Structure 1
Amino acid sequence: MSTFPSHHITCTSLSFAWPDGTGVFDGFQLAVGPGRTGLIGLNGSGKSTLLRLMAGDLAPSEGAVRTWGEVGYLPQDLVLDTALRVDEVLGIAAQRKALHAIEAGDPSEEHFTAVGDDWDVEERAHATLDQLGLGHIGLDRTIGEVSGGEGVLLRLAALLLARPEVLLLDEPTNNLDLYARRRLYDTVSAWSGVLVVVSHDRELLELVDQIADLRDGEVRWYGGGYSAYEDALAVEQEAAERMVRVAEADVQRQKRELEDAQVKLARRKRYGQKMWDSKREPKIVMGARKRAAQESAGKHRIMHTEKLAEAKERLDEAAEAVRDDDEIRVELPFTKVHPGRAVLRLSGLRMKYGPEVKGEFEIRGPERIALIGRNGAGKTTLLRTISGELDPVAGEATAEVPLRFLPQRLDVLDDDLSVVENVARFAPEATNNRIRARLARFLFRGARADQLAGTLSGGERFRAALAALLLAEPAPQLLMLDEPTNNLDMASVRKLTAALDAYEGALIVASHDMPFLESIGITRWLLLDDTLHTLPAPPMQSDLAGD
Structure 2
Amino acid sequence: MSARPVFVHCTDVSFAWPDGTPVLTDFRLAVGPGRTGLVGLNGSGKSTLLKLIAGELTPAEGTVRIAGEVGHLPQNLVLATGLKVDEVLGIDVARAALHAIESGDTSEAHFTAVGDDWDVEERAVAVLDQLGLGHVGLDRTIGELSGGESVLLRLAALLLARPDVLLLDEPTNNLDLRARRRLYEAVDAWSGVLLVVSHDRELLERVDQIADLRDGEVRWYGGAWSDYRAALAAEQEAAERMVRVAEADVQRQRRELGDAQMKLARRKRYAQKSYENKVVPKIVANSRRSSAEVSSGKHRALHTERLTEARSRLDAAVEAVRDDDEIRIELPRTTVHPGREVLLLQDLELPYGSRVAGGFELRGPERVALLGRNGAGKTTLLRTIAGELAPVAGEAAVRVPLRFLPQRLDILDDGLSVVENVARFAPGATPNEIRARLARFLFRGGRADRAAGTLSGGERFRAALAALLLAEPAPRLLLLDEPTNNLDLASVRSLTSALDAYAGALIVVSHDVPFLESLGITRWLRLDGELRPTTAAAVRAEELAEDRESEGVTGP
Quickly name the TM-score band, shorter chain normalised. Answer: 0.7 to 0.9
* Corresponding residue number in structure 2 for 1:281: 280
Q: Please list the CA deviations of residues 181-219 of structure 1 after superposition, one character each: whole Å capped at 9, or x if unmatched.
A: 332222112222221111223332232222211011111
C-alpha distance in structure 2 between counterparts of 1:469 and 1:267, whole Å: 67
Q: CA deviation at 1:338?
A: 5.9
C-alpha distance in structure 2 between counterparts of 1:91 and 1:377, whole Å: 27
Cα 1:29–1:117 shift into 2, 3 Å = same
* Corresponding residue number in structure 2 for 1:396: 395
Q: 2:525, 2:533 within 8 Å by CA — same for their partners in 1?
A: yes
Cα 1:68–1:480 shift into 2, 3 Å = same
Cα 1:22–1:373 shift into 2, 3 Å = same
TM-score computed with the length of structure 2 as normaliser? 0.86
Match of 1:485, SS?
coil
* Corresponding residue number in structure 1 for 2:349: 350
C-alpha distance in structure 2 between counterparts of 1:82 and 1:165, whole Å: 29
Q: 2:272, 2:285 within 8 Å by CA — same for their partners in 1?
A: no
Q: Please list the CA deviations of residues 94-118 of structure 1 after superposition, one character each: whole Å capped at 9, or x if unmatched.
A: 4434544554566666655554443
Q: CA deviation at 1:428?
A: 7.2
Cα 1:378–1:114 shift into 2, 3 Å = closer
Q: CA deviation at 1:222?
A: 2.3
Q: CA deviation at 1:312?
A: 0.6
Q: 2:275, 2:281 within 8 Å by CA — same for their partners in 1?
A: no
* Corresponding residue number in structure 2 for 1:229: 228
* Structure 1, 146-155 or 428-437: larger mean CA deviation: 428-437
* Corresponding residue number in structure 2 for 1:538: 539
C-alpha distance in structure 2 between counterparts of 1:387 and 1:82, whole Å: 22
Q: Please list the CA deviations of residues 401-456 of structure 1 after superposition, one character each: whole Å capped at 9, or x if unmatched.
A: 55433333445556787766766776677788776655543334566566676665
* Corresponding residue number in structure 1 for 2:299: 300
Cα 1:514–1:112 shift into 2, 3 Å = same
Q: CA deviation at 1:303?
A: 1.0
C-alpha distance in structure 1 between counterparts of 2:84 and 2:389, whole Å: 31
Q: CA deviation at 1:78?
A: 3.1
* Corresponding residue number in structure 2 for 1:90: 89
Q: Which amino acid aligns with 1:268?
A: R
Q: Which amino acid aligns with 2:69?
A: E
Cα 1:354–1:308 shift into 2, 3 Å = farther
Confirm whether residue 56 of structure 1 aligns to residue 27 of structure 2. Answer: no
* Corresponding residue number in structure 2 for 1:118: 117
Q: 2:17, 2:454 within 8 Å by CA — same for their partners in 1?
A: no
TM-score computed with the length of structure 1 as normaliser? 0.87
Q: Among all aligned residue pairs of Structure 1 and Structure 2, give the percentage whose two residues are the same amino acid.
A: 75
The 5 A counterparts of 1:126-165 are: 126-165=125-164
Q: CA deviation at 1:58?
A: 2.9
Cα 1:232–1:502 shift into 2, 3 Å = farther
Q: Which amino acid aligns with 1:538?
A: V
* Corresponding residue number in structure 1 for 2:215: 216
The 5 A counterparts of 1:61-460 are: 61-100=60-99, 102-104=101-103, 114-333=113-332, 335-336=334-335, 342-351=341-350, 354-410=353-409, 439-445=438-444, 457-460=456-459
Cα 1:180–1:434 shift into 2, 3 Å = same
Cα 1:529–1:254 shift into 2, 3 Å = same
The 5 A counterparts of 1:466-485 are: 466-471=465-470, 475-485=474-484
Aligned-CA RMSD value:
3.4
Q: CA deviation at 1:47?
A: 1.0
Match of 2:118, SS?
coil
Q: 2:45, 2:456 within 8 Å by CA — same for their partners in 1?
A: no
C-alpha distance in structure 1 between counterparts of 2:425 and 2:97, whole Å: 60
Q: Which amino acid aligns with 1:535?
A: T
Cα 1:447–1:94 shift into 2, 3 Å = closer
Q: 1:368, 1:508 within 8 Å by CA — same for their partners in 2?
A: yes
Unaligned runs of 5+ in 2: 551-556
Q: 2:76, 2:408 within 8 Å by CA — same for their partners in 1?
A: no
Q: Which amino acid aligns with 1:312?
A: R
Unaligned runs of 5+ in 1: none
* Corresponding residue number in structure 1 for 2:553: none
Q: Which amino acid aligns with 1:297?
A: S
Confirm whether residue 509 of structure 1 aligns to residue 508 of structure 2. Answer: yes
Confirm whether residue 523 of structure 1 aligns to residue 525 of structure 2. Answer: no
Q: 1:203, 1:515 within 8 Å by CA — same for their partners in 2?
A: no
Q: CA deviation at 1:242?
A: 2.1
C-alpha distance in structure 1 between counterparts of 2:374 and 2:523, whole Å: 20
C-alpha distance in structure 1 between counterparts of 2:411 and 2:79, whole Å: 26
Cα 1:112–1:182 shift into 2, 3 Å = same
Cα 1:144–1:349 shift into 2, 3 Å = closer
Q: CA deviation at 1:321?
A: 0.8
C-alpha distance in structure 1 between counterparts of 2:450 and 2:140, whole Å: 45
C-alpha distance in structure 1 between counterparts of 2:334 and 2:128, whole Å: 47
